[in-house]
A = this chain, B = another copy of it.
């Protein structure tokens, strides 16, 4: 119930300078950063954005591009983040359920034990037609945090599975997570989310590979029982009256980047999934001032974490950690909406905050995205992602701005996502020589 250590991590852990290393690294991720030109001769989102501060860093440092998985492959966000953190996403395959649960419980000390099972839940709406349930909205109108957490509390109070230790956790809007505690469960369950409306939810069932596995069958039965009860409890509720399940997975322990590198690692992110993935690989998730204020507010009145909040949190905990992952979500969200102008705006907002990061004097600042989300495509894409590397040991290149075309001919060349971690460590002088 433990992932292996890849040769790259083995080498990093053997070479990591632990004693006396005090250099600091900031990995600033604009989700979905990479884009495509608007029109046939146009500029990309990043090229369009006015980014005087990032451009100055590009002039001093070096740029390039990374393929999160490998050229041609489009990653999901969890997987792309794993790659940037140095975890080969084809080795460290982590289900969405485990990600969701770590996101929902990211501030807790113990989240899951190896062998436990988690699933991502979506609040949804269903209708009964001719005695059959039909999904009418897979996200229950993107139900707000307030009503969603009230429904979760109701379910927690009323659900009863004798002999089964389980729990439910709300994360954000329609998103929640299910945890099956203790040993004996299987993560090899199909989704009940039919990925379409106008059709019934699927019945909980083992995946074909586990069709004859007693643990998978038992897990499917328990989930069927749970969903039956959920349906009864939520039958007359609004704005959601049922849940869909996705991404069942068994939790396997992941070698911690904090332990492997000897760095105290911090994550600053507004969205639960990114907090979850950071927590999974051994980072401490830092609450922003808004998060702290929210703890004393009813769910419906809670504020949203802004980019400025995130930078303020970075300043706040600067002395306490060595590696800082700062995650900006909205560049991706606007890319997915096809909103070129708003994506440009987010990039400009981040640029305006860059001087505050530079004022902290990080030894290495790496600015990149987890993947590309061209507004033209309204979805994640396979295009290599711009990277900017700034620091004392960075060999400067000829770049005078931070943009896709500059990155294509940049001094860092075309990298793999998993190259970023050893490069950041090297530029921070945190890796010793290998071999005499």
Q: Interface residues, chain A, CB within 8 Å of chain B?
A: 7-8, 11, 15, 36-37, 40, 44, 60, 62, 65, 69-80, 89-90, 96, 99, 246-247, 377, 379-384, 393, 395-398, 404-405, 408-415, 419, 421-426, 431-436
Question: What separation, in Å, do the CA atoms of A282 and B72 have in the docked complex?
Answer: 21
Q: 16 interchain pairs (CB within 8 A)?
A: A7-B90, A15-B73, A15-B74, A36-B393, A70-B422, A72-B419, A72-B431, A73-B434, A75-B434, A75-B435, A377-B393, A395-B408, A396-B405, A397-B408, A412-B414, A413-B413
- A395 — which chain B residues lie within 8 A by C-beta? 36-37, 44, 383, 404, 408
Of B398, B423, B436, the contact of A71 (CB 8 Å cutoff): B423
A380 touches B433 (CB 8 A): yes
Could you tell me the distance in whole angstroms from the C-beta of A246 to the nearest C-beta in chain B?
8
Of B60, B423, B434, the contact of A69 (CB 8 Å cutoff): B434
Question: What separation, in Å, do the CA atoms of A67 and B260 have in the docked complex?
Answer: 22
B69 touches A413 (CB 8 A): no
A405 touches B414 (CB 8 A): no
Which of A15, A79, A413, A421 has the most chain B CB atoms inside 10 A of its CB? Answer: A413
Could you tell me the distance in whole angstroms from the C-beta of A17 to the nearest C-beta in chain B?
11
Could you tell me the distance in whole angstroms from the C-beta of A194 to the nearest C-beta in chain B?
16
Could you tell me the distance in whole angstroms from the C-beta of A85 to the nearest C-beta in chain B?
14
A435 touches B382 (CB 8 A): no
A71 touches B419 (CB 8 A): yes
Of B65, B73, B396, B419, the contact of A422 (CB 8 Å cutoff): B73
B398 touches A76 (CB 8 A): no
Question: What separation, in Å, do the CA atoms of A426 and B73 have in the docked complex?
Answer: 7
A65-B413, A426-B74 known; A431 vs B90 contact (CB < 8 Å): no
- A71 — which chain B residues lie within 8 A by C-beta? 415, 419, 422-423, 426
- A7 — which chain B residues lie within 8 A by C-beta? 90
Nearest-neighbor residue (CB-CB) of A372 within chain B = B395
Question: What separation, in Å, do the CA atoms of A36 and B436 have in the docked complex?
Answer: 22
